[in-house]
Amino acid sequence: MRIVRAAAVAGFLALVSAVPASATPVCTDGYMGGPPADLCGGRIFPEAELARGYIQYTPDAFGFIEYQHGIEYLAQKYPRWISVFKLSDLYGQQAVSAGPDALRAYEEGDTGDGRDIQVIKITDHNVPDEGKETLLYSLSVHGNERGGLEGGVRTAEDLAIAAEEGGTIVDGIDNYDSSTGRDATIETR
Distance CA 140, CA 184 (A): 25
| For range 48-58, the mean pLDDT | 84
Instruction: Report residue 175's pLDDT band, with 50, 70 and 90 as the boundaries.
Output: low
- For residue 177, pLDDT over 60 is answered with no
Residue 138 binned pLDDT confidence (cut-offs 50, 70, 90) = confident
Model confidence, pTM? 0.74
Q: Which of 5, 64, 14 is nearest to 39 (CA)?
A: 64
172 has pLDDT over 80: no
What is the C-alpha to C-alpha distance for residues 88 and 117, in angstroms, rounded to an integer? 7
Contact status, residue 74 vs residue 82, Cβ threshold 8 Å: yes
Has residue 174 got a pLDDT over 60?
Answer: no
**Residue at 145: amino acid letter:** E
Q: Are 179 and 169 in contact (CB under 8 A)?
A: no
Query: Which has more pLDDT, 157 or 176?
Result: 157
pLDDT over 60 (residue 143)? yes
Could you tell me if 156 and 122 are in contact, meaning their C-beta atoms sit under 8 angstroms apart?
yes
